[in-house]
Structures are given as C-alpha cells and as structure tokens.
C-alpha cells in the first residue's frame, strides 16, 4: 500500500492473492507533494506490487517505489485504476525504481503520455457485468469479492 488511506483495500488484495502485505506511510508537505514517513513490513528480496486507486503526479508512487528498492525489493510493479498522469508523472513512472505500470482505461491516456513500461487494461467487461447485474437484480458486490466493502 503506498499510503495508509489505501491500507484496507491493499490488505484485501493481499488476502485474496495469498501474499504478504506492507504499508508505506506518507506525509503531505504541500498539495500534490508527499514524503515517505516510514515503511511497515518486510519487503527485502521480494517482488513488490503497489496498488492505488489513482495516479495523478505519481509523487506518492515514485517515493514508495524508491523506498521499496532501498529496502531491497527485487522488483516493483505499480497498478492503479485511474491514470490521470499530470505534471511529471510519466517521468516519475519511467524511473529505474519501477519495472512496470498497469492502469485501466477509465481515464484516456494520450499517446504523449504512453511509455514503454505502461500497460493499459480495459475496464469494459467489469462495467458491462455491473450494468447487467443491476438490471437483473444480481449482486454487484460479489464481483469484487466477499471482503470488499
């Protein structure tokens, strides 16, 4: 988890995937600027997956990836639902600290913002299934697993 705010969601993912969990606490020193306060968890000699809901300037993500590498992570993959990618985001995500970035297509990513490490995945099927379940009266929450709140 790149910050305490996404802690609960990241713990749910870790449980579903059967993997370990670590959290990096950040402190905001100004708007769109964050600094890592501390890391809780052992990531030495491990492959790290950083999951967040949105990447705007990528400051939090790039700081988290840097700390992960400094603490001995073998690789760092970043995944987020919404890739706003403003300011220096592409430059930060292209750093040597990050091996791969996975974003959904909920925000259009222009050609200028696409880079070698970026993979964009379609969200069409999850939206289609959600709409179908709403119309048929089926559970939407089951799409996201029993632990999702």
List active site positions: 26
| Whether 115 contacts 93, CB under 8 Å | yes
| Whether 100 contacts 94, CB under 8 Å | no
Q: What is the 3-state secondary structure (H, E, C) of 80-144?
A: EEEECCCCCHHHHHCCCCCCEEEEECCCCCCHHHCCCCEEEECCHHHHHHHHHHHHHCCCCHHHH
């Amino acid at each position: 988890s790149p910050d305490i705010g996404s802690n609960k969601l990241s713990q749910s993912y870790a449980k579903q995937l059967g993997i370990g969990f670590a959290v990096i606490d950040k402190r905001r020193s100004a708007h769109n600027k964050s600094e890592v306060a501390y890391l809780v968890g052992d990531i030495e000699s491990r492959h790290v997956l950083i999951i967040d809901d949105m990447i705007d300037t990528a400051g939090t993500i790039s700081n988290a990836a840097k700390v992960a590498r400094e603490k001995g992570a073998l690789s760092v993959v970043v995944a987020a639902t919404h890739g706003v990618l403003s300011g220096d985001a592409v430059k930060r995500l292209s750093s040597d600290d990050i091996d791969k970035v996975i974003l959904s297509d909920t925000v259009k990513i222009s050609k200028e913002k696409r880079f070698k490490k970026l993979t964009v995945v379609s969200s069409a099927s999850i939206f289609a299934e959600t709409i179908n379940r709403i119309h048929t009266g089926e559970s939407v929450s089951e799409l996201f697993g029993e632990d999702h709140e």
